[in-house]
Structure 1
Amino acid sequence: MTTPRHSIFQHSTIASLAAGVFDDDLTLQELLGHGSFGLGTFNALDGEMIVLDGVCYQMRSDGSISQPPMSANTPYAMVTNFVPTLRTELKGDLLRKSVNQIISELEPSPNYLYAVRITGEFNWVTTRTVAKQTRPYPPLVEATDGEDVLRFENVKGVLAGFRTPEFQATVSVPGCHVHFIDDERTMGGHVVDYELKSGVAELCIGTDLQLRLPVTKEFMQANLTPEDLMEQLNKAEHSDH
Protein backbone atom coordinates (compact mmCIF):
# COMPACT_ATOMS: atom_id res chain seq x y z
CA MET A 1 0.00 0.00 0.00
CA THR A 2 1.36 3.39 -1.00
CA THR A 3 0.76 6.21 1.47
CA PRO A 4 -0.51 9.33 -0.35
CA ARG A 5 1.39 12.53 0.38
CA HIS A 6 -0.61 15.24 2.08
CA SER A 7 0.46 18.60 3.50
CA ILE A 8 -0.39 20.24 6.83
CA PHE A 9 0.34 23.93 7.36
CA GLN A 10 1.34 25.22 10.78
CA HIS A 11 2.00 28.75 11.91
CA SER A 12 4.55 29.08 14.74
CA THR A 13 5.18 26.38 17.35
CA ILE A 14 3.53 25.26 20.55
CA ALA A 15 6.79 25.99 22.38
CA SER A 16 6.51 29.60 21.22
CA LEU A 17 2.97 29.82 22.54
CA ALA A 18 4.09 28.24 25.83
CA ALA A 19 6.71 30.98 26.12
CA GLY A 20 4.08 33.71 25.89
CA VAL A 21 4.46 34.75 22.25
CA PHE A 22 0.78 35.59 21.77
CA ASP A 23 0.87 38.02 18.83
CA ASP A 24 1.81 37.78 15.16
CA ASP A 25 0.82 39.20 11.79
CA LEU A 26 -0.60 36.13 10.01
CA THR A 27 -4.18 36.94 8.99
CA LEU A 28 -7.04 34.47 8.83
CA GLN A 29 -7.32 35.20 5.12
CA GLU A 30 -3.78 33.94 4.59
CA LEU A 31 -4.27 31.04 7.00
CA LEU A 32 -7.37 29.78 5.20
CA GLY A 33 -5.46 29.90 1.96
CA HIS A 34 -3.49 26.96 3.32
CA GLY A 35 -6.41 24.81 4.46
CA SER A 36 -10.12 24.55 5.22
CA PHE A 37 -9.91 22.48 8.42
CA GLY A 38 -8.01 22.99 11.65
CA LEU A 39 -7.58 24.80 14.94
CA GLY A 40 -5.56 27.46 16.72
CA THR A 41 -5.99 30.64 18.71
CA PHE A 42 -6.10 34.39 18.12
CA ASN A 43 -3.78 37.26 18.99
CA ALA A 44 -3.65 37.94 22.74
CA LEU A 45 -5.12 34.42 23.18
CA ASP A 46 -8.56 35.89 22.51
CA GLY A 47 -10.39 32.56 22.46
CA GLU A 48 -10.14 29.18 20.74
CA MET A 49 -10.20 28.70 16.96
CA ILE A 50 -11.85 25.92 15.00
CA VAL A 51 -11.97 25.79 11.20
CA LEU A 52 -14.55 23.59 9.48
CA ASP A 53 -15.35 23.50 5.76
CA GLY A 54 -13.40 26.71 5.24
CA VAL A 55 -15.27 28.65 7.94
CA CYS A 56 -13.37 29.95 10.97
CA TYR A 57 -15.13 30.22 14.33
CA GLN A 58 -13.89 32.16 17.36
CA MET A 59 -14.98 30.66 20.68
CA ARG A 60 -14.42 33.17 23.50
CA SER A 61 -14.24 32.69 27.25
CA ASP A 62 -17.57 34.51 27.73
CA GLY A 63 -19.30 31.68 25.86
CA SER A 64 -19.84 33.59 22.63
CA ILE A 65 -19.11 32.09 19.22
CA SER A 66 -18.67 34.22 16.11
CA GLN A 67 -17.02 34.28 12.72
CA PRO A 68 -14.11 36.72 13.05
CA PRO A 69 -13.06 39.06 10.23
CA MET A 70 -10.51 37.74 7.78
CA SER A 71 -8.19 40.54 8.91
CA ALA A 72 -7.92 39.01 12.41
CA ASN A 73 -4.49 37.63 13.33
CA THR A 74 -3.27 34.39 14.84
CA PRO A 75 -0.06 33.58 16.77
CA TYR A 76 -0.55 29.80 16.42
CA ALA A 77 -2.69 27.64 14.14
CA MET A 78 -2.71 24.40 12.16
CA VAL A 79 -4.80 23.79 9.04
CA THR A 80 -5.09 21.36 6.16
CA ASN A 81 -7.49 20.44 3.40
CA PHE A 82 -9.21 17.52 5.07
CA VAL A 83 -9.19 14.45 2.80
CA PRO A 84 -9.92 11.44 5.04
CA THR A 85 -8.38 8.12 4.09
CA LEU A 86 -9.19 6.23 7.31
CA ARG A 87 -12.62 5.89 8.91
CA THR A 88 -14.23 3.96 11.75
CA GLU A 89 -17.61 3.96 13.46
CA LEU A 90 -17.65 4.48 17.21
CA LYS A 91 -20.38 3.22 19.53
CA GLY A 92 -20.91 2.41 23.18
CA ASP A 93 -20.44 5.39 25.53
CA LEU A 94 -16.72 5.80 24.93
CA LEU A 95 -14.56 8.16 26.97
CA ARG A 96 -11.86 10.22 25.26
CA LYS A 97 -9.12 7.83 26.37
CA SER A 98 -10.93 4.85 24.80
CA VAL A 99 -11.55 6.71 21.54
CA ASN A 100 -7.89 7.66 21.32
CA GLN A 101 -6.89 4.02 21.79
CA ILE A 102 -9.20 2.97 18.95
CA ILE A 103 -7.81 5.68 16.68
CA SER A 104 -4.23 4.70 17.55
CA GLU A 105 -4.97 1.16 16.35
CA LEU A 106 -6.40 2.59 13.13
CA GLU A 107 -3.25 4.55 12.30
CA PRO A 108 -0.81 2.79 9.97
CA SER A 109 2.13 4.38 11.83
CA PRO A 110 2.65 6.56 14.93
CA ASN A 111 5.30 8.55 13.05
CA TYR A 112 3.00 10.78 11.02
CA LEU A 113 0.79 13.75 11.77
CA TYR A 114 -2.94 13.08 11.45
CA ALA A 115 -5.81 15.50 11.08
CA VAL A 116 -8.73 13.97 12.98
CA ARG A 117 -12.45 14.70 12.80
CA ILE A 118 -15.00 13.01 15.05
CA THR A 119 -18.64 13.72 14.25
CA GLY A 120 -21.34 12.38 16.50
CA GLU A 121 -23.60 12.48 19.51
CA PHE A 122 -22.00 13.04 22.89
CA ASN A 123 -23.35 12.20 26.33
CA TRP A 124 -21.20 15.06 27.55
CA VAL A 125 -18.22 17.18 26.56
CA THR A 126 -16.04 19.25 28.89
CA THR A 127 -14.15 22.20 27.46
CA ARG A 128 -12.21 25.25 28.55
CA THR A 129 -11.64 28.46 26.64
CA VAL A 130 -8.69 30.76 27.19
CA ALA A 131 -9.42 34.38 28.11
CA LYS A 132 -7.92 37.35 26.26
CA GLN A 133 -4.58 38.37 27.74
CA THR A 134 -3.01 41.78 28.24
CA ARG A 135 0.63 42.77 27.97
CA PRO A 136 3.07 41.96 29.43
CA TYR A 137 1.96 38.44 28.48
CA PRO A 138 2.48 35.58 30.94
CA PRO A 139 3.60 32.08 29.88
CA LEU A 140 0.79 29.90 28.51
CA VAL A 141 0.63 27.75 31.63
CA GLU A 142 -0.15 30.85 33.70
CA ALA A 143 -2.61 32.25 31.14
CA THR A 144 -4.64 29.04 31.26
CA ASP A 145 -4.40 28.49 35.02
CA GLY A 146 -7.76 28.62 36.79
CA GLU A 147 -9.88 28.52 33.65
CA ASP A 148 -13.49 27.47 34.06
CA VAL A 149 -14.25 24.01 32.70
CA LEU A 150 -17.66 23.92 31.01
CA ARG A 151 -19.75 20.76 30.63
CA PHE A 152 -22.20 20.33 27.75
CA GLU A 153 -24.66 17.43 28.03
CA ASN A 154 -26.49 15.44 25.34
CA VAL A 155 -25.04 17.40 22.45
CA LYS A 156 -24.32 16.72 18.78
CA GLY A 157 -21.20 18.22 17.31
CA VAL A 158 -17.71 17.92 15.89
CA LEU A 159 -14.27 17.38 17.37
CA ALA A 160 -11.56 18.72 15.08
CA GLY A 161 -7.82 18.74 15.49
CA PHE A 162 -4.55 16.90 15.08
CA ARG A 163 -2.64 13.95 16.45
CA THR A 164 1.07 14.68 16.68
CA PRO A 165 3.93 12.18 17.18
CA GLU A 166 6.13 12.56 20.24
CA PHE A 167 9.22 13.52 18.22
CA GLN A 168 7.48 16.77 17.23
CA ALA A 169 6.74 17.70 20.83
CA THR A 170 8.27 21.19 20.72
CA VAL A 171 6.58 21.98 17.40
CA SER A 172 2.99 20.85 17.96
CA VAL A 173 0.97 19.62 20.93
CA PRO A 174 2.08 15.97 21.38
CA GLY A 175 -0.73 13.44 21.37
CA CYS A 176 -4.28 14.39 20.44
CA HIS A 177 -5.21 18.09 20.42
CA VAL A 178 -8.85 18.78 19.51
CA HIS A 179 -11.43 21.54 19.77
CA PHE A 180 -15.22 21.07 19.89
CA ILE A 181 -18.17 22.92 18.43
CA ASP A 182 -21.81 21.85 18.46
CA ASP A 183 -23.94 21.48 15.33
CA GLU A 184 -25.78 24.74 16.06
CA ARG A 185 -22.46 26.61 16.46
CA THR A 186 -23.51 27.93 19.87
CA MET A 187 -21.08 26.17 22.25
CA GLY A 188 -17.57 24.79 22.20
CA GLY A 189 -13.95 25.19 23.19
CA HIS A 190 -10.68 23.35 23.80
CA VAL A 191 -11.55 19.75 24.69
CA VAL A 192 -10.70 18.46 28.15
CA ASP A 193 -12.70 15.21 28.05
CA TYR A 194 -15.87 13.71 26.63
CA GLU A 195 -18.08 10.64 26.48
CA LEU A 196 -19.15 9.74 22.96
CA LYS A 197 -22.48 7.97 22.57
CA SER A 198 -22.03 7.22 18.88
CA GLY A 199 -20.21 8.74 15.96
CA VAL A 200 -17.66 8.46 13.18
CA ALA A 201 -13.92 9.12 13.39
CA GLU A 202 -12.06 10.10 10.23
CA LEU A 203 -8.32 10.54 9.79
CA CYS A 204 -6.32 12.41 7.19
CA ILE A 205 -2.65 11.46 7.19
CA GLY A 206 -0.09 14.26 7.06
CA THR A 207 3.22 13.34 5.47
CA ASP A 208 4.40 16.91 4.78
CA LEU A 209 4.58 19.74 7.32
CA GLN A 210 4.86 23.34 6.15
CA LEU A 211 6.03 25.38 9.13
CA ARG A 212 5.87 29.19 9.13
CA LEU A 213 7.85 30.86 11.91
CA PRO A 214 7.22 34.39 13.23
CA VAL A 215 9.82 37.08 12.57
CA THR A 216 8.96 39.16 15.63
CA LYS A 217 11.32 40.31 18.35
CA GLU A 218 9.31 38.31 20.90
CA PHE A 219 9.79 35.07 18.98
CA MET A 220 13.48 35.72 18.40
CA GLN A 221 14.08 36.22 22.13
CA ALA A 222 11.81 33.43 23.40
CA ASN A 223 13.21 30.37 25.19
CA LEU A 224 11.71 27.52 23.18
CA THR A 225 13.45 24.69 25.05
CA PRO A 226 12.78 25.07 28.79
CA GLU A 227 13.48 21.94 30.82
CA ASP A 228 9.87 21.68 31.97
CA LEU A 229 8.26 22.26 28.56
CA MET A 230 6.35 18.97 28.50
CA GLU A 231 5.06 19.55 32.00
CA GLN A 232 3.86 23.01 30.97
CA LEU A 233 2.12 21.70 27.85
CA ASN A 234 0.39 18.84 29.64
CA LYS A 235 -1.01 21.27 32.19
CA ALA A 236 -1.97 24.01 29.75
CA GLU A 237 -3.30 21.90 26.87
CA HIS A 238 -4.89 18.91 28.62
CA SER A 239 -3.35 16.84 25.82
CA ASP A 240 -3.88 13.11 25.59
CA HIS A 241 -2.82 10.23 23.37
Structure 2
Amino acid sequence: MCEIYNSLCSCSFDVAKEFAEYHKLTGQGEIYQTSLMSALIAGVYDGSTTVKQLLDHGDFGLGTFDHLDGELIAFDKDVFQLKEDGSANQAKMDQKTPFAVMTYFKPQIELPITESMGREQVHKLIDQLVPSDNLFCAVRIDGTYEYVRTRTVPRQDPPYRPMLDVVKEQPTFSFRRMQGVIAGFRSPQYTTGINVPGYHEHFINNERTGGGHIQDYRISSGFLQIGVVSKLIIDLPTTEQFLDADLARKDIRQAIEKTEK
Protein backbone atom coordinates (compact mmCIF):
# COMPACT_ATOMS: atom_id res chain seq x y z
CA MET A 1 0.00 0.00 0.00
CA CYS A 2 2.88 2.38 0.76
CA GLU A 3 5.02 1.75 -2.29
CA ILE A 4 3.61 4.70 -4.27
CA TYR A 5 3.84 7.31 -1.58
CA ASN A 6 6.40 6.27 1.03
CA SER A 7 6.62 9.63 2.79
CA LEU A 8 2.95 9.46 3.80
CA CYS A 9 2.84 5.90 5.13
CA SER A 10 3.20 6.73 8.81
CA CYS A 11 0.88 9.71 8.96
CA SER A 12 -1.12 11.50 6.27
CA PHE A 13 -1.62 8.50 3.99
CA ASP A 14 -2.89 6.30 6.83
CA VAL A 15 -5.31 8.98 8.02
CA ALA A 16 -6.60 9.53 4.48
CA LYS A 17 -6.91 5.78 3.99
CA GLU A 18 -9.02 5.46 7.14
CA PHE A 19 -11.36 8.18 5.88
CA ALA A 20 -11.52 6.45 2.51
CA GLU A 21 -12.44 3.14 4.12
CA TYR A 22 -15.29 4.81 5.96
CA HIS A 23 -16.57 6.73 2.95
CA LYS A 24 -16.16 4.13 0.21
CA LEU A 25 -19.79 3.06 0.50
CA THR A 26 -21.16 6.40 1.72
CA GLY A 27 -20.59 8.79 -1.19
CA GLN A 28 -22.23 12.15 -0.69
CA GLY A 29 -23.86 14.59 -3.07
CA GLU A 30 -24.70 14.05 -6.70
CA ILE A 31 -23.31 14.60 -10.16
CA TYR A 32 -25.35 16.57 -12.67
CA GLN A 33 -24.58 15.89 -16.31
CA THR A 34 -25.95 17.53 -19.41
CA SER A 35 -26.08 15.26 -22.49
CA LEU A 36 -23.87 12.22 -23.13
CA MET A 37 -20.27 11.66 -24.12
CA SER A 38 -21.49 9.46 -26.97
CA ALA A 39 -23.44 12.45 -28.31
CA LEU A 40 -20.28 14.56 -28.31
CA ILE A 41 -18.42 11.77 -30.12
CA ALA A 42 -21.23 11.76 -32.72
CA GLY A 43 -20.87 15.50 -33.37
CA VAL A 44 -23.71 16.94 -31.26
CA TYR A 45 -22.00 20.27 -30.55
CA ASP A 46 -24.96 22.64 -30.20
CA GLY A 47 -25.29 23.77 -26.61
CA SER A 48 -28.56 23.24 -24.78
CA THR A 49 -27.62 24.25 -21.22
CA THR A 50 -26.29 27.63 -20.07
CA VAL A 51 -23.44 28.24 -17.66
CA LYS A 52 -25.95 29.81 -15.27
CA GLN A 53 -27.99 26.60 -15.33
CA LEU A 54 -24.86 24.54 -14.66
CA LEU A 55 -24.17 26.60 -11.54
CA ASP A 56 -27.66 25.77 -10.31
CA HIS A 57 -26.43 22.17 -10.05
CA GLY A 58 -22.87 22.54 -8.75
CA ASP A 59 -19.78 24.62 -8.10
CA PHE A 60 -17.20 22.24 -9.59
CA GLY A 61 -16.90 20.46 -12.92
CA LEU A 62 -15.76 20.31 -16.51
CA GLY A 63 -17.05 20.05 -20.06
CA THR A 64 -16.97 22.00 -23.30
CA PHE A 65 -18.80 24.92 -24.93
CA ASP A 66 -21.28 25.52 -27.73
CA HIS A 67 -19.78 24.60 -31.14
CA LEU A 68 -17.08 22.65 -29.24
CA ASP A 69 -15.45 26.03 -28.59
CA GLY A 70 -12.76 25.08 -26.08
CA GLU A 71 -12.73 23.37 -22.70
CA LEU A 72 -14.78 24.19 -19.59
CA ILE A 73 -13.39 24.09 -16.05
CA ALA A 74 -15.34 25.08 -12.93
CA PHE A 75 -14.41 25.33 -9.26
CA ASP A 76 -15.27 27.63 -6.34
CA LYS A 77 -18.38 28.67 -8.34
CA ASP A 78 -16.18 30.17 -11.09
CA VAL A 79 -16.43 28.87 -14.66
CA PHE A 80 -13.65 29.40 -17.21
CA GLN A 81 -13.41 28.83 -20.95
CA LEU A 82 -10.07 27.40 -22.08
CA LYS A 83 -9.66 28.44 -25.70
CA GLU A 84 -7.95 26.78 -28.65
CA ASP A 85 -5.03 29.25 -28.39
CA GLY A 86 -4.30 28.03 -24.85
CA SER A 87 -5.78 31.11 -23.17
CA ALA A 88 -8.38 31.20 -20.40
CA ASN A 89 -11.29 33.57 -19.87
CA GLN A 90 -14.13 33.76 -17.37
CA ALA A 91 -17.23 32.27 -18.97
CA LYS A 92 -20.39 34.32 -19.40
CA MET A 93 -23.58 33.17 -17.74
CA ASP A 94 -25.46 32.92 -21.06
CA GLN A 95 -22.84 30.78 -22.81
CA LYS A 96 -24.09 27.28 -23.60
CA THR A 97 -22.60 23.82 -23.37
CA PRO A 98 -23.39 20.59 -25.28
CA PHE A 99 -21.73 18.46 -22.58
CA ALA A 100 -20.73 19.17 -18.99
CA VAL A 101 -20.43 17.41 -15.64
CA MET A 102 -21.00 19.33 -12.38
CA THR A 103 -21.19 18.64 -8.65
CA TYR A 104 -21.09 20.49 -5.37
CA PHE A 105 -17.56 19.65 -4.30
CA LYS A 106 -17.56 17.99 -0.86
CA PRO A 107 -14.18 16.34 -0.29
CA GLN A 108 -14.11 13.50 2.23
CA ILE A 109 -10.43 12.73 1.62
CA GLU A 110 -7.63 15.31 1.75
CA LEU A 111 -3.94 14.65 1.38
CA PRO A 112 -0.80 16.79 0.96
CA ILE A 113 1.52 15.94 -1.93
CA THR A 114 5.08 16.42 -0.72
CA GLU A 115 7.14 14.75 -3.42
CA SER A 116 7.28 14.78 -7.21
CA MET A 117 4.65 12.54 -8.80
CA GLY A 118 3.57 11.89 -12.38
CA ARG A 119 -0.04 11.70 -13.49
CA GLU A 120 -0.17 7.91 -13.41
CA GLN A 121 1.30 7.87 -9.89
CA VAL A 122 -1.36 10.30 -8.70
CA HIS A 123 -4.06 8.15 -10.28
CA LYS A 124 -2.71 5.03 -8.56
CA LEU A 125 -2.69 6.92 -5.26
CA ILE A 126 -6.35 7.89 -5.72
CA ASP A 127 -7.18 4.30 -6.69
CA GLN A 128 -5.61 3.13 -3.42
CA LEU A 129 -7.59 5.65 -1.40
CA VAL A 130 -10.87 4.85 -3.19
CA PRO A 131 -10.43 1.26 -4.46
CA SER A 132 -14.01 0.74 -5.65
CA ASP A 133 -14.61 1.74 -9.26
CA ASN A 134 -18.37 1.61 -8.79
CA LEU A 135 -18.79 5.17 -7.52
CA PHE A 136 -17.73 8.52 -8.94
CA CYS A 137 -14.82 10.57 -7.60
CA ALA A 138 -14.55 14.33 -7.96
CA VAL A 139 -10.85 15.22 -7.82
CA ARG A 140 -9.19 18.59 -7.19
CA ILE A 141 -5.43 19.14 -7.01
CA ASP A 142 -3.99 22.56 -6.14
CA GLY A 143 -0.24 22.57 -6.59
CA THR A 144 3.05 23.49 -8.17
CA TYR A 145 3.58 21.60 -11.41
CA GLU A 146 6.87 20.79 -13.10
CA TYR A 147 4.89 20.60 -16.31
CA VAL A 148 1.35 20.16 -17.58
CA ARG A 149 0.66 19.14 -21.18
CA THR A 150 -2.78 20.08 -22.44
CA ARG A 151 -4.84 20.18 -25.59
CA THR A 152 -7.92 22.20 -26.51
CA VAL A 153 -10.47 21.37 -29.20
CA PRO A 154 -11.02 24.12 -31.81
CA ARG A 155 -14.41 25.72 -32.44
CA GLN A 156 -16.54 23.96 -35.09
CA ASP A 157 -19.20 25.22 -37.48
CA PRO A 158 -22.02 23.23 -39.12
CA PRO A 159 -22.12 20.81 -40.79
CA TYR A 160 -20.28 19.29 -37.84
CA ARG A 161 -17.61 16.68 -38.29
CA PRO A 162 -17.33 13.71 -35.89
CA MET A 163 -15.13 14.40 -32.89
CA LEU A 164 -12.58 11.79 -33.97
CA ASP A 165 -11.85 13.98 -37.00
CA VAL A 166 -11.81 17.21 -35.00
CA VAL A 167 -9.23 16.05 -32.44
CA LYS A 168 -6.71 15.34 -35.19
CA GLU A 169 -6.34 19.12 -35.51
CA GLN A 170 -6.36 20.01 -31.81
CA PRO A 171 -3.50 22.27 -30.68
CA THR A 172 -1.40 21.18 -27.70
CA PHE A 173 0.32 23.32 -25.05
CA SER A 174 2.98 22.88 -22.40
CA PHE A 175 2.88 24.75 -19.07
CA ARG A 176 6.13 24.52 -17.10
CA ARG A 177 7.09 25.33 -13.51
CA MET A 178 3.67 26.77 -12.80
CA GLN A 179 1.11 26.79 -10.03
CA GLY A 180 -2.43 25.84 -10.91
CA VAL A 181 -5.57 23.81 -10.31
CA ILE A 182 -6.65 20.46 -11.71
CA ALA A 183 -10.38 19.73 -11.65
CA GLY A 184 -11.60 16.35 -12.78
CA PHE A 185 -13.57 13.17 -12.26
CA ARG A 186 -12.88 9.48 -12.06
CA SER A 187 -15.96 7.81 -13.53
CA PRO A 188 -16.82 4.09 -13.32
CA GLN A 189 -16.00 1.89 -16.29
CA TYR A 190 -19.69 1.03 -16.70
CA THR A 191 -20.41 4.64 -17.66
CA THR A 192 -18.67 4.24 -21.04
CA GLY A 193 -20.66 6.25 -23.57
CA ILE A 194 -22.57 8.07 -20.87
CA ASN A 195 -19.42 9.70 -19.51
CA VAL A 196 -15.66 9.30 -19.90
CA PRO A 197 -14.70 6.09 -18.05
CA GLY A 198 -11.65 6.55 -15.85
CA TYR A 199 -9.96 9.91 -15.36
CA HIS A 200 -11.03 13.11 -17.13
CA GLU A 201 -9.14 16.23 -15.98
CA HIS A 202 -8.79 19.90 -16.94
CA PHE A 203 -6.12 22.40 -15.81
CA ILE A 204 -5.93 26.15 -15.32
CA ASN A 205 -2.99 28.16 -13.98
CA ASN A 206 -3.23 30.34 -10.87
CA GLU A 207 -3.17 33.49 -13.01
CA ARG A 208 -6.31 32.18 -14.75
CA THR A 209 -4.70 32.96 -18.11
CA GLY A 210 -4.19 29.50 -19.59
CA GLY A 211 -5.03 25.82 -19.40
CA GLY A 212 -6.80 22.99 -21.19
CA HIS A 213 -7.72 19.31 -21.25
CA ILE A 214 -4.92 17.39 -19.56
CA GLN A 215 -2.84 14.89 -21.46
CA ASP A 216 -0.07 14.54 -18.88
CA TYR A 217 1.51 16.31 -15.91
CA ARG A 218 4.06 16.07 -13.10
CA ILE A 219 3.38 17.76 -9.79
CA SER A 220 6.19 18.68 -7.37
CA SER A 221 4.01 19.62 -4.38
CA GLY A 222 0.39 20.36 -3.66
CA PHE A 223 -2.85 19.33 -2.03
CA LEU A 224 -5.16 16.54 -3.22
CA GLN A 225 -8.88 16.50 -2.41
CA ILE A 226 -11.31 13.71 -3.31
CA GLY A 227 -15.08 13.66 -3.05
CA VAL A 228 -16.85 10.32 -3.49
CA VAL A 229 -20.23 10.70 -5.21
CA SER A 230 -22.97 8.07 -5.45
CA LYS A 231 -25.74 9.84 -7.37
CA LEU A 232 -25.93 10.73 -11.06
CA ILE A 233 -28.53 12.91 -12.77
CA ILE A 234 -28.52 13.17 -16.57
CA ASP A 235 -30.34 15.95 -18.40
CA LEU A 236 -30.81 14.83 -22.02
CA PRO A 237 -31.30 17.35 -24.84
CA THR A 238 -34.41 17.10 -27.00
CA THR A 239 -32.95 18.84 -30.03
CA GLU A 240 -33.30 17.32 -33.49
CA GLN A 241 -29.53 16.94 -33.68
CA PHE A 242 -29.45 14.84 -30.49
CA LEU A 243 -32.53 12.79 -31.40
CA ASP A 244 -31.05 11.86 -34.80
CA ALA A 245 -27.56 11.00 -33.51
CA ASP A 246 -26.15 7.46 -33.38
CA LEU A 247 -25.46 7.09 -29.65
CA ALA A 248 -24.80 3.34 -29.58
CA ARG A 249 -21.83 2.81 -31.88
CA LYS A 250 -20.06 -0.48 -31.19
CA ASP A 251 -16.60 1.07 -30.90
CA ILE A 252 -17.63 3.81 -28.48
CA ARG A 253 -14.97 2.92 -25.90
CA GLN A 254 -12.16 3.06 -28.45
CA ALA A 255 -13.55 6.32 -29.84
CA ILE A 256 -13.60 7.94 -26.38
CA GLU A 257 -10.06 6.76 -25.66
CA LYS A 258 -8.82 8.38 -28.87
CA THR A 259 -10.55 11.69 -28.18
CA GLU A 260 -9.33 11.83 -24.57
CA LYS A 261 -5.62 11.31 -25.34
Task: Check whether TM > 0.5.
Answer: yes
Give yes or no for the alignment of 1:35 onto 2:94: no
Amino acid at match of 1:192: Q
Give yes or no for the alignment of 1:128 onto 2:151: yes
SS in 1 for 2:169: coil
1:91 to 114, 124, 137: 114
Amino acid at match of 2:70: G
SS in 2 for 1:225: coil
1:1-241 matched pairs, under 5 angstroms: 1=22, 3-238=26-261
5+ residue gaps, structure 2, are 1-21
| Separation (CA, whole Å) in 1 of partners of 2:74 and 2:116 | 26
Compared CA separation, residues 94 and 4, structure 1 to 2 (3 A): closer
5+ residue gaps, structure 1, are none
| Separation (CA, whole Å) in 1 of partners of 2:87 and 2:109 | 33
Q: Kindly indicate which of the two structures has a greater share of residues assigned to helix.
A: 2
Name the count of aligned residue pairs: 238
Question: Any conservation in 2 of the 1:22–1:44 contact (CA below 8 Å)?
Answer: yes
Q: 1:103, CA displacement in angstroms?
A: 0.5
| Separation (CA, whole Å) in 2 of partners of 1:93 and 1:145 | 31
| Separation (CA, whole Å) in 2 of partners of 1:132 and 1:122 | 28
Amino acid at match of 1:151: S
Query: Could you tell me the TM-score, scaled by structure 1's length?
Result: 0.96
Q: 1:25, CA displacement in angstroms?
A: 2.2
Percentage of matched positions with identical amino acids: 39
Q: Kindly indicate which of the two structures has a greater share of residues assigned to strand.
A: 1
| Separation (CA, whole Å) in 1 of partners of 2:142 and 2:87 | 22
Question: Any conservation in 2 of the 1:24–1:75 contact (CA below 8 Å)?
Answer: yes
- CA RMSD in angstroms comes to 1.2
| Separation (CA, whole Å) in 2 of partners of 1:230 and 1:167 | 11
Amino acid at match of 1:152: F
Q: 1:198, CA displacement in angstroms?
A: 1.1
Amino acid at match of 1:121: T
Question: Any conservation in 1 of the 2:34–2:98 contact (CA below 8 Å)?
Answer: yes
Query: Could you tell me the TM-score, scaled by structure 2's length?
Result: 0.88
Of structures 1 and 2, the larger Rg is shown by: 2
Q: Deviations over 1:88-141 (max 9, x none)?
A: 222322111111001100115211011100111100000001110011111111
Q: 1:194, CA displacement in angstroms?
A: 0.3
| Separation (CA, whole Å) in 1 of partners of 2:73 and 2:27 | 25
SS in 2 for 1:141: helix
